[in-house]
Amino acid sequence: MSSGDGQQSQALTKPSFSEVQASALVESVFGLKVSKIQPLPSYDDQNFHVCIARTKVTTDGPNECVLKISNTESSKTPDLIEVQTHIIMFLRAAGFPTASVCRTKGDNVSSLVTVDSGSEVKSYLVRLLTYLPGRPIAEIPIGPQLLYEIGRLAAKLDKTLEKFHHPKLSSLHRENFIWNLKSVPLLEKYLYALGQNRNREIVEQVIQLFKDEVMTSLSHFRECINHGDLNDHNILIVSSESAFGDAVYQVSGILDFDDMSYGYYVFEVAITIMYMMIESKTPIQVGGHVLAGFESVVPLTPVERGALFLLVCSRFCQSLVLAAYSCQLYPENEEYLMITAKTGWKHLQQMFDMGRKAVEEIWFETAKSYESGISM
């Protein structure tokens, strides 16, 4: 869901390859013939669902893939994309349901493609990943057990990445990356996109609280690599039937590692809570179940717990403000960009109206109930 580091600008060019051009890319860069191709929704990159035609030469390999074409700004950071791609491979080897990476004909994990439109030359990084089964959890009602498992998954992912090494790992220190929670004060540049209303007033209050309370506590948070975008469209699930005839859900895919950066454990759980609230009919209850799962792997410190409410509010602000801003740049992509806004403003207002103490009490009591084996 990201753009390049620093301020998003109109200089960022979202790719606009046709299906024919995308098919030609798959063949020329990866040496695979396409039997069917269709676009997938995306924020500011371009993705295609690709079916691979079997030939005498390509009898092995995946049948379905995702062609990822990065925008012009992201394409200027090949080291970062290389590290993110190797993390996908590392996590898959560690047992996580991430995609496999298809190598180019030159045995690389990505390729820089240059397009000359006549008036200007633009470069785009392209990658090909295997297509993962399942459907987004946004499409199903998420119960307490699945929320717990998603919280646990988020913590295990960050914990596992403590063991990841790469010579270009420092590229994940993304200074002023707009989607890192540390960058909440940078939202002030985009507030004009909201107009003058109660929503803007709440965002302004959250930003000020963030400056006063979170920025001064960062040195007390434990650092780690964050996925940074475990939203309800980036986690896939498959269902099976239990012995009692109930649907049992299992995570079958983790998508979109483009927002990865160095952050903190408490950032990851806050981001996950916020996105799991989006489609919930009882959004305030969500946090305790996700927190319990997360803390079964990485218990938070008192300082980290004390920042959780404000961090969840801050992520709502990031998502909602940047969606409003991006809609002005890409009105044709409004339906996808405004997914969070459908319920997000209402949830943020509810949290703010209830206040930190009341929300924390619900979250922490729910999380505590898992310790005794009785989930609320």
* Active-site amino acid positions: 229
Residue with tokens 């099976």: 240
Given phi > 0 = left and psi -120 to 50 = alpha, else beta, which region is 29? alpha
238: nearest Cα among 153, 147, 140: 140
Contact yes or no for 85/169 (Cβ under 8 A): no
Give the Å distances, CA to CA, from 113 to 10, 15, 69, 79, 202.
21, 11, 9, 16, 43
**Helix, strand, or coil (residue 2):** coil
Q: How many residues does the chain have?
A: 376
What three-state secondary structure class fits 49? strand
DSSP string across 240-294: EE-TTS-EEEEEEEE---TT-EEEEHHHHHHHHHHHHHTT-SSHHHHHHHHHHHH
